[in-house]
Structure 1
Amino acid sequence: MRRKLRVAAYAICVRDGQLLLARWTDGRGRPEWTLPGGGMEHGEDPYDTVLREVEEETGYYVEVTGLLGVDSFRLTTRSRFRRPVDRQGLRLVYEARVTGGQLRPEIGGSTDLAAWHPLETVPGLNRVGLVDTGLALWRERPVTGRLPQKMNTA
């Protein structure tokens, strides 16, 4: 079975009781809110990845204020040739604060909108599981960098 590993870095940006999110579009017509961030390029440091991805997806420049934790998941999918692929996602979740730039949508990327959402309204949003995982890491700040009970975040 073919194996694929994807390493990505995401940011939790909370300001005045609001969370910065980007709306992810998967091409199937069902957009979902996600944390700003994304895949690491070959040779890139994850710290640099989160800075680049947040700016690409939101227009903001951020300063990383801490590493909240790591989330990983595994699933088996099919390749375009219908062969099974064992996929593992490794996601680093950083805490960050906005230092400059202006809120704007990503141009020609995987997200089409960026917006601030009051923390109390986030549970009602159509969102990916990573948002809940990131918020739990932000609230609980586990010393292991891992949530005690693994959440399904794929």
Structure 2
Amino acid sequence: MTVVMGADAAEADRLQRLAAYGIVRRDDSVLLVRIGPKSVDDYKKWMLPGGGVEHGEHPRVTVVREFKEETGYDVEVVRLLDVDAEHRRLTGPLDFHAVFALYEVAIVGGTFNPSGHGGVDTCAWISLAELPDLPLLTPIGAALEKFLPHVALNTSGQLPS
């Protein structure tokens, strides 16, 4: 985390994060993970499996590692779909800038484990018909809309009433 000094110090701390996520479909479903309680701002929102790139790690390696940790599946990268970014204020206040790579992945082994790991509390195969009712992280919802045509999603990130 970069601490802002001088006149801007009272405004917010700054954090820039590089991450990699994977999208995989099975029939009319997509595999998603739900953010756990460690995230004050995004608890119970859904996103794609993936996470932060560790120092010296290639984003392709990140998505394979994170998929295993969060879902139990072994995956291989099929192709890079997109690189995107999000900039927003988080609780604290924290000036958060996320840059992420989105990969299409294929399951090649492992055993599905819905119990979650680290920052996620569960994972599930979600039917495309259910996606519009889920609270999704805004950039993940936008990516799903782009790569799952004809699906209108809840990209507001708000939990349903």
Q: TM-score, normalised by structure 2?
A: 0.75
The runs of 5 or more residues in structure 1 that have no matched partner are: 141-150
Contact (CA 8 Å) 1:68, 1:137: kept in 2 or not?
no
Alignment partner of 2:47 out of 15, 34, 38: 34
Report the equivalent of 1:74. 87
Paired with 1:85 and 1:33, the residues of 2 have a C-alpha distance of 21
CA deviations on 1:59-116 (whole Å, 9 max, x unpaired) are: 001111111101112234565xxxx653311011111111111110355511111110
Report the equivalent of 1:133. 142
Paired with 1:63 and 1:36, the residues of 2 have a C-alpha distance of 13
Kindly tell me: are residues 78 and 109 of structure 1, through their superposed partners in 2, closer, same or farther at Cα, counting changes over 3 Å? closer
Paired with 2:138 and 2:129, the residues of 1 have a C-alpha distance of 16
Q: Give 3-state SS (helix, strand or coil) of 1:8's partner.
A: strand
Tell me which amino acid in the other structure corresponds to 2:24: C
Report the equivalent of 1:61. 74
Q: Give 3-state SS (helix, strand or coil) of 2:63's partner.
A: helix
Alignment partner of 1:9 out of 11, 20, 24: 20
Paired with 1:135 and 1:125, the residues of 2 have a C-alpha distance of 12
CA positional deviation for 1:8: 0.4
CA positional deviation for 1:6: 0.2
Contact (CA 8 Å) 2:69, 2:117: kept in 1 or not?
no
Q: Give 3-state SS (helix, strand or coil) of 1:103's partner.
A: coil
The runs of 5 or more residues in structure 2 that have no matched partner are: 5-12, 150-154
Which of 1 and 2 has higher RCO (CA within 8 Å, sep 6+)?
A: 1
Contact (CA 8 Å) 2:136, 2:156: kept in 1 or not?
no
Q: Give 3-state SS (helix, strand or coil) of 2:66's partner.
A: helix
Kindly tell me: are residues 86 and 30 of structure 1, through their superposed partners in 2, closer, same or farther at Cα, counting changes over 3 Å? closer
Paired with 2:138 and 2:78, the residues of 1 have a C-alpha distance of 23
Identity score, percent = 38
Report the equivalent of 1:20. 31
Tell me which amino acid in the other structure corresponds to 1:24: I
